[in-house]
Amino acid sequence: MTREIERVAGIPVVQIATIVPIMLTVGTNRIVPGVAIPHPTGNPALGPEGDKAVRRELLLRSLKAMTTAVTEQTIFEK
Amino acid sequence: MTYRIVHYINQFYAGIGGEDMADHKPELREGFVGPGMQIEKLFEGEGKIVGTVICGDGYYGEHTDQARMECLEMIKGLQPDILFAGPAFNAGRYGFACGDIAATVGEELKIPTVTAMYPENPGVELYSKKTYIATTSDSARGMAKAIPAMAGIGKKLLNGEKMGPARLEGYIHRGIRKSFFHEKSGAERAVEMLLTKLKGESFRTEYEMPVFNKIPPAAPVKDLKTATIALVSSGGIVPKGNPDHIRVSSAESFGAYDISELKNMTPENYESIHGGYDREWANVDPDVVLPLDVMRELEAEGVIGKIHPIFYTTTGTGTAVANSEKFGQEIGEELKKAGVDAAILTST
């Protein structure tokens, strides 16, 4: 889905998910590794504030990913 | 009983002509024509070619609906027990025509159909799941092997014999997996396979993974402060009550929801219906899958221009690759029309 949106719309699509090898396999170009399968964009174990801080960091990293020129599939680590 | 066989071939194998006669319209001749002679011979009196349908490859390719209908009518009138088409070897348009008519006849007349092609013929990708395609070499030099391969599969189907695996029977995999009891457990077989792999020897997987395409990365967003960013998810986050009945697994649809008035995802307005992960956390706070709350903050702070008012969502578990690609294409079209600059897609 990520790859086809990117191809058809011609826009960068950043995918946040936990299993990086799957994103590499399906052709995602800008990859941000998520926290965990059932909560990729948060960490409830850290309490409401900690959870939100994690989410903010992930999103800022995603914004960085979409503004970064890449020539191949790239993983944006912390 | 003598089986009634119908054979489909192109203008070239019918001796009508080459490329200059490729627009030849569908024509029915009694008995066998060209390669059909050998097919009938291999049936040793148990089958007879009652008619041969001939159509130019160009005509079939350019007027597909018309050609398909005309050929189907001719074939139907012959009341066949089986249809053979080709072999088409690596001829692309002939392969398309053979695959298309075989798939159509199989579906409409509920009879077995068999064709034959080189594995790289484009007809293979289109029709290998809808008909039996015997594997051939890339040119007519392989005719002597192709005809018996095709006839052999046809005979098995007519006699109701059990069809073995594609690689042993000589046809192209139809994407069907049959269950059977193996003398060794899966664990034993997996370890054996791993040991073989570690030794650097060749091994055969029991589950072939689909091949995905890769695309060159899109150009980056130039200015975040004016950018419109869309949110998309395959994490099964939907408005409470799942109004569009998106399936909890093997999704066949996606939803598009207006979030322009929404600041935050809460258990009161949104929920997860995904059947492939523990929804406990997502249902306490859907933002852990679809991060709307913090995106709204970034929007308010002016870090990004704005969040696209429509949010797209589906369930990504057991979902067919073809469906996922289709969803992506449809969503991509809409985002393009809306002038969206980038998307964040979350998956579980």
* Positions of chain A with pLDDT under 70: none
pTM above 0.80, yes or no: no
Contact B209 A70 (CB under 8 A): no
Average confidence score pLDDT of chain B: 95
Contact A29 B217 (CB under 8 A): yes
Looking at the partner chain, which of A35, A55, A72 has a beta carbon nearest the beta carbon of B287? A55
Q: What is the pLDDT of residue A52?
A: 97
**Residue B96: C-alpha distances to residues B13, B89, B117, B246 (Å):** 16, 11, 10, 35
Q: What is the pLDDT of residue B80?
A: 98
Strand, coil or helix: A13: strand
Q: Domain ranges in chain B?
A: 3-169, 224-346
Q: What are the φ and ψ backbone dihedral angles of B51, each rounded to 5 degrees?
A: -170, 155
Q: What is the pLDDT of residue A62?
A: 98
Tell me the C-alpha distance between B3 and B160, whole Å: 13
- Report the candidate in A69, A59, A77 with the shortest Cα–Cα distance to residue A12: A69
Residue A67's CB is within 10 A of a number of other CB atoms, namely 16
Identify the closest residue of chain A to B348 by CA–CA distance. A37
CA A35 to chain CA centroid, nearest Å: 10
Identify the closest residue of chain A to B331 by CA–CA distance. A5
Question: Is A16 part of the contact surface with chain B (CB cutoff 8 Å)?
Answer: yes
DSSP for B120-134, please give it. TSHHHHHHTTTSEEE
8 Å CB contact between A1 and B321: no
Strands B27-30 and B47-55: antiparallel
Q: How far apart are the first and last CA of chain B?
A: 58
* Radius of gyration over every alpha carbon of chain A, rounded to an integer in angstroms: 13
Tell me the C-alpha distance between B235 and B290, whole Å: 8
Tell me the C-alpha distance between B243 and B183, whole Å: 48
Question: How is residue B73 written in tokens?
Answer: 């009518």
8 Å CB contact between B340 and A6: no
Half-sphere CA count of B45, side-chain side, radius 13 A: 0
Tell me the C-alpha distance between B162 and B169, whole Å: 11
Domain B3-169 in CATH 3.40.50.2300? The answer is: yes
The pLDDT tens digits for B2-55 are: 999 999 999 999 999 998 999 999 999 999 999 999 999 999 999 999 999 999
Contact B217 A30 (CB under 8 A): yes
CB-based burial label for B247 (10 Å; 0-12, 13-18, 19+): middle
Contacts of B245 (CB under 8 A, 6+ apart): none
Cα angle value A18/A19/A20 (rounded, 5°): 100
Tell me the C-alpha distance between B305 and B139, whole Å: 58
Q: How far is A21 from chain B (nearest CA, A)?
A: 13
B69: left (phi over 0), alpha (psi -120 to 50) or beta: alpha
Q: What is the pLDDT of residue B206?
A: 86
The residue assigned the tokens 């071939």 is B9
Q: pLDDT in tens for each of the 348 residues of chain B?
A: 799 999 999 999 999 999 899 999 999 999 999 999 999 999 999 999 999 999 999 999 999 999 999 999 999 999 999 999 999 999 999 999 999 999 999 999 999 999 999 998 989 988 999 999 999 999 999 999 999 999 999 999 999 999 999 989 999 999 888 888 999 999 999 999 999 999 999 998 888 777 778 999 999 999 999 999 999 999 999 999 999 999 999 999 999 999 999 999 999 999 999 999 999 999 999 999 999 999 999 999 999 999 999 999 999 998 888 899 999 999 999 999 999 999 999 999
Contact B289 A39 (CB under 8 A): yes
Tell me the C-alpha distance between A53 and A3, whole Å: 28
Looking at the partner chain, which of A29, A38, A69 has a beta carbon nearest the beta carbon of B277? A38
The residue assigned the tokens 């969040």 is B307
